[in-house]
């Protein structure tokens, strides 16, 4: 059973799209096979179970996330790195409005059944938080970096949920402008303030 094939890749790609759009449980192997243009019976040559497809999808999301984080690292300041993360959310806000955050959606859905898939999804979320924490430490936030990182990621995730719930990409766009203010006023100056909207007074 080859680890990498054209068909295998097509199946993973199809699964990523469909699972993001419909969720893991609502997506059938028949859906995935059809989207990938692979006969249903052939799916089992590449993946022993549906759960194995889930694992491959999470692996792929993990590679994407780490690539993105590497790109964001190229910004010259911690505040700009964190904003690059938010900017990516803005760039994909229409997908998010349609289908939600691919990582948040997996965590939400899979946390309910536990097991290794849930753990793998949780690791994605943890990686995002740790990366954010690293930036905040670099900005001089010290011991509060972990708590601020939790809140920063929570805020992005929550805004993805609202964007999806109301099918309104602008929610993410407007949010990015507020968080820009927060980054300039607090993170860029080595302070930490709970981030909702920049000060108006």
Partner DNA sequence: GTCTATATACAGATAGAC
Partner DNA sequence: GTCTATCTGTATATAGAC
Binding residues for DNA, rule: CB under 7 A, are 1-2, 5, 7, 27-30, 38-42, 44-45, 48-51
C-alpha separations of 148 from 66, 69, 95, 110, 132 in Å: 21, 18, 27, 25, 9
- Exposure b/e, 85-116, CB count within 10 A at least 16 = b: bbbebbebbebbbebbbbbbbbbebbeeeeee
Closest to 92 (Cα-Cα) out of 164, 169, 22: 169
Minimum distance from CB of 7 to its own copies (Å)? 27
Minimum distance from CB of 53 to DNA (Å)? 8
Q: Which residues contact 199 (CB under 8 A, 6 or more apart)?
A: 181, 185
Minimum distance from CB of 156 to DNA (Å)? 30
Q: Name the binder of 186 from its own copies, DNA, none, CB < 5-8 A by kind.
A: its own copies
Please identify, using beta-carbon distances, which residue of 28 and 116 lies nearer to DNA.
28
Minimum distance from CB of 141 to DNA (Å)? 44
Please identify, using beta-carbon distances, which residue of 36 and 132 lies nearer to its own copies.
132
Pairwise CA distance, residues 104 & 83, whole Å: 19
Q: Please give the residue ranges that form the binding site for its own copies (CB under 8 A).
A: 21-23, 25-26, 99-100, 104-105, 107-109, 111-113, 121-122, 125-126, 129, 141-142, 144, 147-148, 150-159, 161-162, 164-167, 171, 174-175, 178-179, 181-182, 185-186, 189-201
């Amino acid at each position: 059973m080859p680890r990498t094939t054209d068909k295998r890749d097509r199946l993973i790609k199809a699964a990523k799209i469909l699972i993001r759009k419909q969720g893991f449980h609502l997506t059938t192997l028949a859906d995935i096979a059809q989207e990938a243009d692979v006969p249903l019976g052939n799916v089992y040559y590449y993946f022993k179970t549906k759960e194995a497809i889930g694992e491959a999808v999470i692996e792929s999301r993990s590679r994407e996330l780490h690539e993105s984080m590497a790109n964001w690292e190229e910004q010259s300041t911690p505040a700009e790195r964190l904003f690059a993360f938010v900017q990516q959310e803005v760039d994909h806000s229409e997908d998010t409005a349609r289908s939600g955050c691919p990582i948040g959606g997996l965590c939400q859905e899979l946390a309910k059944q536990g097991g290794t898939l849930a753990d793998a999804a949780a690791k994605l979320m943890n990686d995002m938080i740790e990366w954010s924490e690293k930036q905040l430490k670099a900005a001089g936030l010290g011991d509060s970096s972990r708590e601020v990182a939790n809140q920063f990621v929570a805020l992005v995730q929550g805004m993805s949920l609202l964007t999806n719930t109301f099918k309104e990409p602008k929610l993410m766009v407007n949010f990015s402008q507020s968080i820009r203010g927060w980054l300039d006023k607090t993170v860029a100056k080595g302070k930490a303030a709970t981030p909702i909207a920049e000060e108006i007074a």
